[in-house]
Structure 1
Amino acid sequence: MIFVTPLQWIKKKLRKRVNHQSSISVVNNKLNQELENDLSISVVDQVDQVLDNQASIAIVDNFDQKSNNQSCISALNNINIRVVGDRYSGKTVYMASLAYWPNVNSESPLQSVTSFGDQETSQELFNCAQNILKEGLKLNPKNIDDFCVDQIKDYGLKISLKNYFSEKLSQNRSDFIEFTINCKDYSGEFFRDVIYKSNDPFLKDYLEDFQLADGLLLLVDGTSYRKDQQYAKGLEKFLLYLNQTKLHNPKRRIAFVLNKCELSELWMSRHQPRELVAKRFPQMMATLENWSDQGLGEVEYFTASAFGTLGNDYYQPNTKILAQAHQGTFYMIRHLEKWRPFGLVSPIYWLCTGERHEALDQD
């Protein structure tokens, strides 16, 4: 016959009711103190009554919720996000817009954006933001032949999001929620090069950087749909590379961001990103969905515009188109004083939390 002590019996009862190790530990410590004070019989007699008390259960649930919130908040500081995209996707302009946005729009969900990492490179990004947005200068797409491996630009931003935008994280003691995002400025046709230049040292260095990423922001020019097949092949090879590395991350998230959605052909469907991607880039979407269905990570779809639109009732893009081709659209901002970017933060928030926020998806 096995003898069960009062303490063992109580712990057994608790484990049936409470499925949280931290909560059990707290209750066990309290019971140990009472047993040492010869109150074990009283505790045994009352344990069922205590466990059936709904207020007690509510306290335990609240404890669990606070613990989960604090864990989530702490994890945000460790999220590694990388931006990937083709030459005309608008990676640098996207990052520059993030860097400059809080300085213009007080209603932005961003509290502040600061640089981190290579200060010289990050300052270059802020200068780029001023050139593009304040001075209205154009940014020429870079040519891969103009660079070597040691010259890859690594733009790093630390973003502070106003706390009240997230109910889930509102118990954070800080007034702001911080996370970081990096963009290594690969200056070539990324998806094509993944297919045909896999041994190129410049590309290898770029690919290795993605091994540590928890989240990937896949930026695609929404007008480059004619390259869907090529992009899908390159994306498939890229995902295969990530999955084969020793640092494979089963919790990796990919945010597919359809960029330049202020253009008329994209604007009307901007609030249906999944449907828009399915229509414009069906092969890329199939590749990502297959990757997700295999349990290799999560994928979500977004729309964005670094420059936004003009007008309310009758809109027009806040851009001046300089060139259009099958690889995408090349343009510059038209009116800085009416600058209204949208969708810049939403994919980053999802990559960090796994949840979408309605306020961040609004224009």
Structure 2
Amino acid sequence: MGNIRVIGPRSSGKTTYLAALAYQPAKASRKNNNFQIQALNDDTRKLAEKAEGIIVEAASLEPSITQVRTIDDLAVYSFNIEVKNRFSKEKLTLAVRDYPGEIFDELEHGSSNPLHQEFIDECLTKDVSGCLILLTEWKQGTDKTYSRVLQRFTELMNSHDRANDLRLAVAMSKCERGELWPGRLDPEIDLFDVHLPKTKSILKDKIPAKNLHFYAISTFGVLGRNNPRPNRIEEWGTDGRNSVLRDPNRWQPYGLISPLYWLSTGKRMRYDA
């Protein structure tokens, strides 16, 4: 089983991303014959039950950070993913856990919160094969912030003896946005070089090339090949303003599976599923 951790700042789309994975069996897998997803445990099945509300109705997912007392309070989402290549099928079993955005945000200056340190220690244990890092902003100053956070994260990887064997899939999330969508095909060059060059430089300098890849992810996708408007609108949900699908019947997410596949196997997919 590949143990994957999802980290990123607040509002980077971590919860929605996992909800979309859980929602796939009911929706997207019918349209995409390249992969099939099956929920394996109660946490994942409960997420699947709530996923439509999260993606379509702007509902929130509990527990929030205020309700988490130990690492065991965080759900582990387990999936079977069957990936169909041209002449073969490959089955992956993944256990995915995401951390509250506060953990990522506080890496910049450090935190005295022992619970947050427990999260980081768990994230960097030897049985974790890789981390999916979701980044979403590029406004002025964000590149400096992200670079400082990831500089600190690489230092922690080194102190936990994970500098040479932990894979990092670094993704620009919410890439359905008009400024980002054209760059999704080569995100390292067309997204990270353009919008987050210092962040990319830190990672390239600290992480072995075989353990680092850059991705673009769009949980919501666009309305169609000839209509590249984001298939996303903002709605007010139970925990504030959230993104939801504009047209559920046209839902075609982009890049959900590819980083998980690489984190688990070390191999690149032929397409961005």
Shorter-chain TM-score: which interval?
0.7 to 0.9
Report if the CA contact (8 A) 1:157-1:180 is conserved.
yes
Task: Tell me, yes or no, if structure 1 residue 314 matches structure 2 residue 227.
Answer: yes
Residues in 2 aligned to 1:224 and 1:88: alpha-carbon distance in whole angstroms: 14
Report if the CA contact (8 A) 2:138-2:196 is conserved.
no
Q: Deviations over 1:286-314 (max 9, x none)?
A: 1110112xx49611111011111113323
Report if the CA contact (8 A) 1:111-1:176 is conserved.
no
The DSSP-based 3-state class of the residue aligned with 2:205 is helix
In the alignment, which of 154, 157, 166 is matched to residue 78 of structure 2? 157
More strand by share: 2
Residues in 2 aligned to 1:345 and 1:260: alpha-carbon distance in whole angstroms: 15
Task: Tell me, yes or no, if structure 1 residue 103 matches structure 2 residue 44.
Answer: no
In the alignment, which of 221, 235, 249 is matched to residue 337 of structure 1? 249
Report if the CA contact (8 A) 2:71-2:118 is conserved.
no
User: Residue 134 of structure 2 aligns with which residue?
Assistant: 219
Evaluate the alpha carbon distance shift between residue 81 and residue 146 of structure 1 in structure 2; reply closer, same or farther with a 3 A threshold.
closer
User: Residue 17 of structure 1 aligns with which residue?
Assistant: none
Residue correspondences, number: 264
User: Residue 355 of structure 1 aligns with which residue?
Assistant: 267
User: Residue 187 of structure 2 aligns with which residue?
Assistant: 273
Task: Tell me, yes or no, if structure 1 residue 190 matches structure 2 residue 103.
Answer: yes
User: Residue 239 of structure 1 aligns with which residue?
Assistant: 154
User: Residue 37 of structure 2 aligns with which residue?
Assistant: 112
State which drifts further: 137-146 or 215-224: 137-146
Residues in 2 aligned to 1:269 and 1:142: alpha-carbon distance in whole angstroms: 34
Residues in 2 aligned to 1:301 and 1:131: alpha-carbon distance in whole angstroms: 30
Give the residue type in structure 2 aligned to 1:251: D
Residues in 2 aligned to 1:81 and 1:143: alpha-carbon distance in whole angstroms: 20
Task: Tell me, yes or no, if structure 1 residue 126 matches structure 2 residue 48.
Answer: yes
In the alignment, which of 160, 167, 175 is matched to residue 261 of structure 1? 175
Evaluate the alpha carbon distance shift between residue 309 and residue 93 of structure 1 in structure 2; reply closer, same or farther with a 3 A threshold.
same
Q: TM-score, normalised by structure 2?
A: 0.85
Task: Tell me, yes or no, if structure 1 residue 284 matches structure 2 residue 199.
Answer: yes
Residues in 1 aligned to 2:49 and 2:140: alpha-carbon distance in whole angstroms: 31
The DSSP-based 3-state class of the residue aligned with 1:80 is strand
Larger Rg: 1
Give the residue type in structure 2 aligned to 1:154: A
Give the residue type in structure 1 aligned to 2:39: T
Give the residue type in structure 2 aligned to 1:355: K
Q: Deviations over 1:6-62 (max 9, x none)?
A: xxxxxxxxxxxxxxxxxxxxxxxxxxxxxxxxxxxxxxxxxxxxxxxxxxxxxxxxx
User: Residue 10 of structure 2 aligns with which residue?
Assistant: 87
> Which structure is higher in RCO with an 8 Å CA cutoff and minimum separation 6?
2
Task: Tell me, yes or no, if structure 1 residue 305 matches structure 2 residue 226.
Answer: no
State which drifts further: 191-200 or 331-340: 191-200
Report if the CA contact (8 A) 2:12-2:173 is conserved.
yes
Report if the CA contact (8 A) 1:152-1:184 is conserved.
no
Residues in 2 aligned to 1:156 and 1:316: alpha-carbon distance in whole angstroms: 31
User: Residue 29 of structure 1 aligns with which residue?
Assistant: none
Report if the CA contact (8 A) 2:54-2:61 is conserved.
no
Q: TM-score, normalised by structure 1?
A: 0.65
More helix by share: 1
Q: Deviations over 1:174-231 (max 9, x none)?
A: x541230312332x43333113343212211210111232111111115567422112
Give the residue type in structure 2 aligned to 1:160: I
Task: Tell me, yes or no, if structure 1 residue 136 matches structure 2 residue 50.
Answer: no
Q: Deviations over 1:116-147 (max 9, x none)?
A: 3xx3x3344223312123x4234389864454
Report if the CA contact (8 A) 1:184-1:206 is conserved.
no
Residues in 2 aligned to 1:153 and 1:181: alpha-carbon distance in whole angstroms: 12
Give the residue type in structure 2 aligned to 1:274: E
Identical aligned pairs, as a percentage? 26
Report if the CA contact (8 A) 1:222-1:261 is conserved.
no
